[in-house]
Amino acid sequence: MPIVFIATPTSAAGFVDTNYSGRVIEVVQGGTFVLRTELVWDEPSVNGYYMVTIVWEDNNRADENFTVLYTRAFIDNDNDNLPGASPIWLENTTVLVSGAGANGTRWAFKVKNTGVGDPNDGYFDVEIYMLAGSQGVPHRAPWDNHCINKSGWGGSIDYGESTPLTTTPAVTTIRVLPFFKLENLFKVSLDVNLWLENGSRLVVKFYRYDNTYQAESLFWEGTTPAQVVKAENVPHPRSSEGYPWGTVQKAALVATDNLGNEIQIVDNFTAYRNHLWNRLTGIRAEWPYATPLERDALWMELSGIRIQWPYAP
C-alpha cells in the first residue's frame, strides 16, 4: 500500500524524508506496503553512496513475520515518487541477515549501491516493498501493532558523497488490520487481500459463542496458488432464525479443498460487547433517516442485540 509524501527540497546533499520514520502504516493481512526513503546527491563529479537498513523481529511465528518482496531505487527530481517516463534506475543490491532477537529471530534487511558509487546527481527514492505475512501465512491481525526499526535494533539510513552521513529513523508501527468487521448483527464484512497457497475455496463458517457450528457461506472459489483480493458482506445463512442460531457470534474464514476438508484457518472473528455497542450506536445514527421498512429491520436487530448482549464476552 504505497504512501505518498511531500517533502520540502533541501539545498545540500543528504537526507530528505521517509514515509515510515515515526509513522503508523496500516495494512490488511497478507497485504503489501512500501517503506520509502528520499535522499539527494548534490556534488557534481563526486560519486554517491546510500544504504537503507530496516530491522524487525518475528516472535518465532510465520504469522508475525514480514517478507521483503522487492526493492527499487530511481531518480525522482519532480518529487512524485514515480520513476518517470524515461526512468533513471539506480543500483539496489540487497542483503538479508538474521540472528537471535529479544522476541524470536531478528531480521536485518539492507538495500544499497556498491562498488565505485553512482555518478548521478539529484533527488532519488529508495523503496522497499513488503508483505504482511511469511511462508504463505498472512500476518495475524487482531489489532497487532508490529514494530520495524525499534530503538536499539540498528535501523539506519546511510548516505553521502564526499562525506559519509547517517540518519537513524524512529520506530515504525505496522498496524495489521483484520479481514473481518461486524456489518450488523446478521452479517459480517470481509476485506481480503492474501496469497493463498493451498485449497480451492474460502468459506465463512459461523459458530455460537460456545463454538457450536451454525452454518457457512462460500466466499471465494478458484485455483491456487492465487492472490485473493475480494471485499464483500457475508450474510448469516440462518439470519431469519435470530439469536442464538442466526446471529453473528463467532466466525472463521477457512481455506478448504473442493470436498470441504479444512486446510487452513485464515482468520477468526468474535462479536464482543464492544462490537455490539458500536452497532447500537450505528442504529441510533441510522434511525432518524430510515424508511418505515428499514426501521422494522433496525428494530429487529436492536431486539436481537439486547438478547445476545448477556452472552457476549
146-166 residue pLDDT tens: 899 999 999 999 999 999 999
101-157 residue pLDDT tens: 998 999 999 999 998 999 999 999 999 999 988 887 778 765 557 899 999 999 999
Residue 167 lies in a domain: yes
Name which of 141, 131, 128, 105 is nearest 197 in CA terms: 131
- 34 three-state secondary structure: strand
The length of the chain in residues reads 313
51-91 residue pLDDT tens: 999 999 999 988 889 999 999 999 999 989 999 889 999 99
Residue 6 lies in a domain: no
Q: Which of 152, 177, 202 is the last residue of a domain?
A: 177
Residue 7 lies in a domain: no
Q: Judge residue 280's burial from the number of C-beta atoms within 10 Å of its C-beta, 0-12 exposed, 13-18 middle, 19 or more buried.
A: middle
My answer on whether 65 and 169 are in the same domain is: yes
My answer on whether 135 and 30 are in the same domain is: yes
Query: Percent of the chain scored above 90 by pLDDT?
Result: 74
244-288 residue pLDDT tens: 999 999 999 999 998 889 998 888 899 999 899 999 999 999 999
Here the CATH number for the domain that contains residue 87 is: 2.60.40
Name which of 101, 206, 228, 116 is nearest 152 in CA terms: 101
Domain ranges, residue 81? 14-177
Residue 143 lies in a domain: yes
My answer on whether 143 and 262 are in the same domain is: no
Q: Could you give the residue ranges of the DSSP H alpha helices within the chain?
A: 273-286, 292-308
Distance between CA atoms of residues 195 and 274, nearest Å: 30
- At residue 298, the pLDDT reads 94
My answer on whether 271 and 196 are in the same domain is: yes
Distance between CA atoms of residues 262 and 200, nearest Å: 11
My answer on whether 159 and 240 are in the same domain is: no
Which residue reads 539527494 in cell numbers?
40
Number of domains in the chain: 2
Name which of 41, 5, 44 is nearest 21 in CA terms: 5
My answer on whether 238 and 157 are in the same domain is: no
Contact 88, 74 (CB under 8 A): yes
Q: Which of 143, 162, 177 is the last residue of a domain?
A: 177
Residue 221 lies in a domain: yes
Residue 3 lies in a domain: no
Type of residue found at 23: R
Strands 24-28 and 172-177: parallel
My answer on whether 214 and 190 are in the same domain is: yes
Q: Could you give the residue ranges of the DSSP H alpha helices within 174-232?
A: none
User: Cis peptide leading into 225, omega within 30 of 0?
Assistant: yes
End-to-end CA distance of the chain: 34
My answer on whether 90 and 212 are in the same domain is: no
Determine phi and psi for 174, rounding to 5 degrees: -95, 110
Contact 33, 24 (CB under 8 A): no
pTM higher than 0.75: no
pLDDT range class, residue 3, cuts 50, 70, 90 = very low
